[in-house]
Structure 1
Amino acid sequence: MVILDTSIWIEFFRFDTRLDLKTIVNLEDIHICPPIYMEVLQGIRDEKAFQKVKTYFKQFKMVESPLSEELIEEAIHIFRLCKRSGLPVRNSVDCIISACAKKHNLSILHIDRDYKYISQIFPIKEKSIK
């Protein structure tokens, strides 16, 4: 069971690279959470593509919708731990995604160095595909 980070979805939907998800994960194991849904969809300019991706995401289980105050507090804790430890986490949304993954015992597949840093101080399962 996995959460695919926004970085994976961007790579998947790009026309020039066309990542094949089936080679890295069983599609039935994919989960998404509101921050990933938002980050991916907000970056799509073309309305037809926007609707297509929105429909595509409906096949995956959405976790933590709506986001709870408890989960946000956990994400704040993660971000502050990283900063105190001198780890250069660039995106607080990655802390929310990490909190979602931990709560639901999901691994995070990504192409984003923040998760390597987060995993040094917070118990998440993460794997970069590159």
Structure 2
Amino acid sequence: MIDEVIIDSSVWIHTLRSKNKSSLSLRVNDLILEDKAVMLPMIRMELLGGTKSVKEFKRLDSRLSGLRNFDISENIWKIATQWAFEFRQNGYTIPNGDLLIAASAKFHNLNLMHADKHFDMISEYIDLQMENVSNYL
């Protein structure tokens, strides 16, 4: 059973900007409180790179620092690189960041919560534990 969940930036952005407590925001909060939310360097960079001020950057950086972090190892880079090649050979261009995130989920046997069509495309060919939460947005 997969307990830990990588929460993609496509979900974080919605929950961080939401003024009200949606069911998705509550689920993300529960994952954080239960220590099941996993952060990857790629997602952290996407989130912090999108902040609009130093104050917002520091506030979000502090909030994210409490999450468990999984590094992107050389093995994960190799998996993502192989997938990038295979997808392009079959006529698909998937963003490299999404491939790294999906490869991390596969390598660490983690669930991936997302609202990004690229992950659905990846999961058509790669066996991954994913949940598309677009219907909650």
Q: How do 1:9-48 residues align onto structure 2 when only pairs under 5 Å count? A: 9-15=12-18, 19=22, 20-23=24-27, 26-27=31-32, 28-48=35-55
Q: Distance in 1 between matches of 2:127 and 2:49?
A: 29
Cα distance in 2 for residues equivalent to 1:17 and 1:46? 22
Q: How many residues align?
A: 127
Conservation of the 8 A alpha-carbon contact between 1:32 and 1:63: yes
Q: What is the RMSD computed on CA atoms of the aligned residues?
A: 1.8
The partner residue of 1:86 within 85, 91, 106 is 91
- The percent of aligned pairs where both chains have the same amino acid is 24
C-alpha displacement of 1:120:
1.3
Question: How much has 1:18 moved relative to structure 2?
Answer: 6.2
Q: TM-score, normalised by structure 2?
A: 0.83
Tell me, yes or no, if the aligned pair for 2:84 and 2:93 is still in contact at 8 Å: no
- Which secondary structure state, in structure 2, belongs to the residue aligned with residue 83 of structure 1? helix
Q: Normalising by structure 1, what TM-score?
A: 0.87
For structure 1, the 5+ residue unaligned runs are none
Match of 2:99 among 85, 95, 116: 95
Query: Which residue number corresponds to residue 126 of structure 1?
Result: 130
Corresponding residue of 1:2 = 5
